[in-house]
Structure 1
């Protein structure tokens, strides 16, 4: 969409217009997604359903909500990741600015942590976009997956969603989310292609890697019809809850200060290499 050019209103004429389908408010009411927030949504719509609705512009079905919220749960926390450590240490540095600590953790969501959700969704969507028709059985999906992995290898690109720094054999989230999507009738082409990549990649890479949770989340979200370009946002939405939990614990334990002291007390000076 082209940038909207705003001009000063003519004297006595109507003012500038800023159209939105999200929400507006006046002295008496708040409108959100075409609904009356107080009368139609509060107490009647869950946060996961609302988050989906806000982005997709359509109200999800109950089955879609169950899969979507399962993905949010799967991505909420993964222990002392760099994002959690960043949030904790920042909180110890500036405890008066909770938003800064939360933001510090969210800013770490990238190609190695959390961003894989979007990277996988994009990779799968791009591969599917090149098909004239979708396969009808596992053999057909394996053929598509083999070509995609082979091309990525030839181009020296990583296949997103493969491998995990902790779960070396199987990510426990992956089979649960795939089974849930199947049960809810939401196991679509992105998940089927992702599963096929799991089956065929050893033939190309020469080793077997697990399909990681972030990758299966990206595939599941894409099958729900959510834009691949926004999938990282959902990972960050989920991780915000986990980070807030870390910060609540940080108030009780002060581990961030211990992390800082451990690193500081074990720092070893190394003379710089001569120019």
Structure 2
């Protein structure tokens, strides 16, 4: 057995998976063999869920069944919603509220211990948008909006968030964003869910753990960091490129650039850049598009892309959400709302040939220590 230390498990193979593959050298992402661009442009998020959970794209009848099932499961118990409203009134962060509410859902699922991963997982997936929208409505002093069974997964969230059915461009864009974030190999939150799943814990525990991992600033919050940067630029008296030059001279990191796996532009960033253009054309507001493209062009000219530091998905996703009027601190919970599909798929896949995940640590403490009783210390 090798004793080589791999900090952060970088490059360590811990599982085999048929779900998604990331080729960071060429900037390619596939779900079960399908290129992410084909799925983002041609399939709905519900189709992608079916693909990840069942191994193939659904027929029309299979898709209708899944959509009907999700529609039935979207309602959330009043006790859970009451807790969500209490957390909103208390000023809790939306990611923390989502984590608490998902954990609480298990208490109201009488079949949680007898049903399989997919049954529980579909229930959680259906309810997370309802929880998140209810939280935002509560902290705005607005009444909860019940889900509409006739709307898509993406459309329902936007409807429950605003109380108004979304326009076609917004619904299509948000649906695409959900697809782009649905899975991405063994990232930190997926691996967390997998570790929990390897103990044969219930799926509520796996998803709660995944949300906790995603909440960390090194994982799920980069799109919010990008938007905070863009607002800081907008509030300054500097042009975007001038601001970035000054920031780099002061050793500030530019959020949305660089990725542990991708050495070229993230394919998801390419797609969302196009959707940001569509939203800008639809609204006539091109500010964030102009800022982000100017920054990207400048940093490319500075040689960052040649060094393997290229735009990742977060560089454009925040601007897309902002263009739809979504508050910044909902970006990471929306990430969780999408990635839950991948967490569930990975847990189910791993448990088919399960082995408890139990790595070792190299002990670096003292060899011996003389014990002294408490009265003599």
Out of 232, 245, 255, the residue aligned to residue 150 of structure 1 is 245
Name which of structure 1's ranges 178-187 and 61-70 shifts more when overlaid on structure 2.
178-187
Between the aligned partners of 1:78 and 1:20, the Cα distance in structure 2 is: 36
Query: Does residue 234 of the first structure (1) align with residue 302 of the second (2)?
Result: no
Query: Does residue 21 of the first structure (1) align with residue 142 of the second (2)?
Result: yes
Between the aligned partners of 2:171 and 2:260, the Cα distance in structure 1 is: 30
- Using the TM superposition, give the Cα deviation of residue 272 of structure 1 relative to its aligned residue in structure 2, in angstroms: 4.9
TM-score normalized with structure 2 length? 0.53
Indicate how the Cα distance of structure 1 residues 188 and 228 shifts in structure 2: closer, same or farther if over 3 A, else same.
Answer: farther
Q: Report the number of matched residues.
A: 225
Correspondence list, 1:206-217, <5 A: 207-208=304-305, 209-217=309-317
Between the aligned partners of 2:206 and 2:291, the Cα distance in structure 1 is: 38
Correspondence list, 1:176-255, <5 A: 176-183=271-278, 185=281, 188-202=286-300, 207-208=304-305, 209-254=309-354
What runs of 5+ residues in structure 2 fail to find an aligned partner? 1-88, 91-137, 369-377
Residue 28 of structure 1 corresponds to which residue in structure 2? none
Secondary structure at 1:108's aligned position in 2?
helix
**Native 8 Å contact 1:83 1:105 kept in 2:** yes
- Using the TM superposition, give the Cα deviation of residue 73 of structure 1 relative to its aligned residue in structure 2, in angstroms: 1.1
- Using the TM superposition, give the Cα deviation of residue 155 of structure 1 relative to its aligned residue in structure 2, in angstroms: 4.0
**Native 8 Å contact 2:193 2:209 kept in 1:** yes
Out of 87, 90, 95, the residue aligned to residue 193 of structure 2 is 87
Indicate how the Cα distance of structure 1 residues 88 and 237 shifts in structure 2: closer, same or farther if over 3 A, else same.
Answer: same
Between the aligned partners of 1:211 and 1:57, the Cα distance in structure 2 is: 34
**Native 8 Å contact 1:146 1:197 kept in 2:** yes
1:32-72: CA deviation from partner (whole Å, max 9, x where unpaired): 36xxx5xxx21x11121121233345432110111111111
- Using the TM superposition, give the Cα deviation of residue 211 of structure 1 relative to its aligned residue in structure 2, in angstroms: 0.9
Between the aligned partners of 1:273 and 1:148, the Cα distance in structure 2 is: 53
Between the aligned partners of 2:204 and 2:177, the Cα distance in structure 1 is: 24
Residue 83 of structure 2 corresponds to which residue in structure 1? none
Between the aligned partners of 1:102 and 1:116, the Cα distance in structure 2 is: 20
Indicate how the Cα distance of structure 1 residues 59 and 127 shifts in structure 2: closer, same or farther if over 3 A, else same.
Answer: farther
Residue 165 of structure 2 corresponds to which residue in structure 1? 59
**Native 8 Å contact 2:275 2:320 kept in 1:** no
What runs of 5+ residues in structure 1 fail to find an aligned partner? 5-17, 24-31, 132-142
Indicate how the Cα distance of structure 1 residues 248 and 149 shifts in structure 2: closer, same or farther if over 3 A, else same.
Answer: same
